[in-house]
Amino acid sequence: MPIRLQKFLAEAGVASRRASERLIMDGEVKVNGRVVTELGTKVDAAHDQVIVGGTPVSARRKLYVALNKPRGFLCTRSDPEQRNVVGDLLPREWENLFTVGRLDRESEGLIFLTNDGEFGLKLTHPRYNVRKTYVAVVEGRVSGAALGRFTAGIEEAGDLLKAEKARLVSANNSHSIVEVELAQGKNREVRRLFQALGHQVVELCRVQIGPIKLGELKSGKWRVMTPAELKSLLRGLA
């Protein structure tokens, strides 16, 4: 299927889409032996030859990976401070994969990695409201009133923090286990929700993104997502 040349270049890993547009306008790209400077140009990866700076460009196989991120790992491919990163958990030949969204260093659970920029954009853009479910272990006994405030929304540091659903799994006088579902997932939102009501998060695990569940995937392990999972995940996000 023909796609725009700049999208083809971005998906092939040549450059970002914006940078690919600049390469085209600067006359650095040839299609079937001819220099192309029109941004609207479409190419078919199965039939057209694309060359950038004298080097042929091939379509890259798209990969979609589900990973159970362990606590203590950063959602990046490398770290100047030599801390543990999720890239350490993947095959070396997958160095072009990037994380879709984030989990903070002390959180664990389900995260996706891909080399498909369009996939990443759809899952992280606020207008799509992809639901994410977390299980939190927190200090103290969480009340029903607190959960009601979560779903009503709490103003904190200029942000409206809000859970779509909040369910108490268990509680005693020292700790509570709470399941929280978010739509937007602002920075450290689950932790900030609990902190706003005086509860410190001890453990935090993301167990579901859209219809995809963490399931039995062990900590630090990954699996390639199935076509059926991708279809269910992207349904309604066109």
Task: Write out pLDDT tens, residues 76-118.
Answer: 878 889 999 999 999 988 888 889 999 999 999 999 999 888 8
Nearest by Cα to 163 from 152, 173, 172: 152
User: Active site includes 88?
Assistant: no
Nearest to 113 by CA among 125, 123, 128, 126: 123
Superfamily name and number for 3-57:
RNA-binding S4 domain (3.10.290.10)
Domain 64-127+217-234 in this protein, CATH class: alpha beta
**Triad 54, 57, 63: Cα angle to 5°:** 155
Catalytic residue among 26, 44, 88, 104: 104
Rounded alpha-carbon distances, angstroms, from residue 166 to 112, 138, 143? 23, 14, 11
- pLDDT (0 to 100) of residue 238: 62
Domain 131-209 sits in CATH at: 3.30.2350.10
Cβ(222)–Cβ(89) under 8 Å?
Answer: yes
Nearest-CA neighbor of 198 among 122, 138, 157? 138
Residue spans of the domains in the chain: they are 3-57, 64-127+217-234, 131-209
Please classify residue 93 by burial: count the beta carbons closer than 10 Å to its beta carbon, then call 0-12 exposed, 13-18 middle and 19+ buried. Answer: exposed
* Strands 108-114 and 201-209, bridge-based pairing: parallel
Q: What is the pLDDT of residue 180?
A: 97
Enumerate the β-bridge partners of residue 217: none
pLDDT of residue 144: 92
Residues of the chain with pLDDT under 70: 236, 238
